[in-house]
Chain A
Amino acid sequence: MKFALKILKDFPAFLWSGWGAVASILLFIALWDSGNQVYGDLVLPSPLETFKTLHAMLNDANVIAEIKTTLYRASVGFGISLLFGTALGLLAGFFATASMMSRPIVTILVGMPPIAWIVLAMIWFGMGDETVIFTVIVASFPIIFVGALQGTRTLDGDLKEMAKSFGFPWHMKFLDVYFPHIFSYVFPAWVSALGMAWKIVIMAELLATSDGIGASLATARSQLDTPTALAIVTIMIGSLMFIEYIILEPIKREVELWRD
Chain B
Amino acid sequence: MERLEVKGLNHSFGFTKILHDINFTLNKGEVLSIVGPSGGGKTTLLHLCADLLDVEEGSVKNTFLSTAFAFQEPRLLPWKNVIDNISLALIAKGEKKSEAIKKSQEIALRFGLEEDDFDKFPKDLSGGMKQRVSFARALVTKPSLLFLDEPFSALDIGLKKELQSVLIDMISKKELSVLFITHDLMEAIRLSDEMLLLKADPGHIVKKFKFDIVQNQRDDKYVYGKSAEILQDSEIINTFELELKS
A contact residues vs B (CB 8 Å cutoff): 158-159, 161-162, 164-169, 172, 176-177, 180-181, 184, 257-260
Q: Are A176 and B75 in contact (CB under 8 A)?
A: no
A-B pairs with lowest CB-CB distance, top 5: A165-B69, A180-B79, A258-B79, A162-B75, A258-B121
Q: Which of A166, A172, A181, A184 contacts B69 (CB 8 A)?
A: A166
For A184, what are the chain B residues with a Cβ–Cβ distance below 8 Å? 79
For B77, what are the chain A residues with a Cβ–Cβ distance below 8 Å? 159, 176-177, 180
Residue in B75, B121, B122, B137 whose Cβ sees the most chain A Cβ within 10 Å: B75
CB distance from A238 to the nearest CB of B (A): 34
For A168, what are the chain B residues with a Cβ–Cβ distance below 8 Å? 88, 92
**Separation of A244 and B44 alpha carbons in the complex (Å):** 48
> Given A166-B88, A258-B78, A260-B123, do A158 and B73 touch, yes or no (CB 8 Å)?
yes
**Separation of A259 and B79 alpha carbons in the complex (Å):** 8
Restricting to B93-134, which residues have a CB under 8 Å from any CB of A? 93, 121-123
**Separation of A170 and B62 alpha carbons in the complex (Å):** 23
Q: Given contact pairs A159-B77, A181-B79, enumerate 4 new A-B contacts (beta carbons under 8 Å).
A: A166-B89, A167-B92, A180-B77, A259-B123
> Given A158-B71, A165-B68, A166-B69, do A172 and B92 touch, yes or no (CB 8 Å)?
yes
For A167, what are the chain B residues with a Cβ–Cβ distance below 8 Å? 92-93
For A158, what are the chain B residues with a Cβ–Cβ distance below 8 Å? 71, 73, 75
> 13 A–B contact pairs at CB < 8 A?
A159-B75, A161-B71, A161-B75, A165-B68, A165-B71, A166-B69, A166-B89, A172-B91, A176-B77, A176-B80, A184-B79, A257-B121, A258-B123
Restricting to B177-228, which residues have a CB under 8 Å from any CB of A? none
For A258, what are the chain B residues with a Cβ–Cβ distance below 8 Å? 78-80, 121-123
The answer, yes or no, to whether B50 is at the interface (CB within 8 Å) is yes
**Separation of A181 and B123 alpha carbons in the complex (Å):** 15
**Separation of A127 and B121 alpha carbons in the complex (Å):** 53
The answer, yes or no, to whether B1 is at the interface (CB within 8 Å) is no
B contact residues vs A (CB 8 Å cutoff): 50, 52, 67-69, 71, 73, 75, 77-80, 88-89, 91-93, 121-123, 137, 141, 147
Q: Smallest CB-CB separation from B122: which chain A residue?
A: A258
For B52, what are the chain A residues with a Cβ–Cβ distance below 8 Å? 161, 164-165
For A165, what are the chain B residues with a Cβ–Cβ distance below 8 Å? 50, 52, 67-69, 71, 147
Q: Are A176 and B88 in contact (CB under 8 A)?
A: yes
For A257, what are the chain B residues with a Cβ–Cβ distance below 8 Å? 121
**Separation of A207 and B210 alpha carbons in the complex (Å):** 84
For B71, what are the chain A residues with a Cβ–Cβ distance below 8 Å? 158, 161-162, 165
For B80, what are the chain A residues with a Cβ–Cβ distance below 8 Å? 176, 258
**Separation of A158 and B134 alpha carbons in the complex (Å):** 13
CB distance from B78 to the nearest CB of A (A): 5
Q: Are B92 and A166 in contact (CB under 8 A)?
A: yes
**Separation of A259 and B21 alpha carbons in the complex (Å):** 45
CB distance from A62 to the nearest CB of B (A): 48
**Separation of A258 and B76 alpha carbons in the complex (Å):** 12
Q: Smallest CB-CB separation from A177: which chain B residue?
A: B77
**Separation of A223 and B164 alpha carbons in the complex (Å):** 82
**Separation of A259 and B122 alpha carbons in the complex (Å):** 9
Q: Are B121 and A172 in contact (CB under 8 A)?
A: no
For B79, what are the chain A residues with a Cβ–Cβ distance below 8 Å? 180-181, 184, 258
Q: Smallest CB-CB separation from A169: which chain B residue?
A: B92
CB distance from A100 to the nearest CB of B (A): 22
**Separation of A56 and B190 alpha carbons in the complex (Å):** 83
Q: Smallest CB-CB separation from A158: which chain B residue?
A: B75
For A177, what are the chain B residues with a Cβ–Cβ distance below 8 Å? 77
For A259, what are the chain B residues with a Cβ–Cβ distance below 8 Å? 78, 123
CB distance from A84 to the nearest CB of B (A): 26
Q: Smallest CB-CB separation from B70: which chain A residue?
A: A165
**Separation of A176 and B100 alpha carbons in the complex (Å):** 16
For A172, what are the chain B residues with a Cβ–Cβ distance below 8 Å? 88, 91-92
For B141, what are the chain A residues with a Cβ–Cβ distance below 8 Å? 166
**Separation of A181 and B80 alpha carbons in the complex (Å):** 11
**Separation of A167 and B147 alpha carbons in the complex (Å):** 14
For B68, what are the chain A residues with a Cβ–Cβ distance below 8 Å? 165-166
**Separation of A165 and B67 alpha carbons in the complex (Å):** 8
**Separation of A243 and B52 alpha carbons in the complex (Å):** 45
CB distance from B122 to the nearest CB of A (A): 8
CB distance from A130 to the nearest CB of B (A): 41
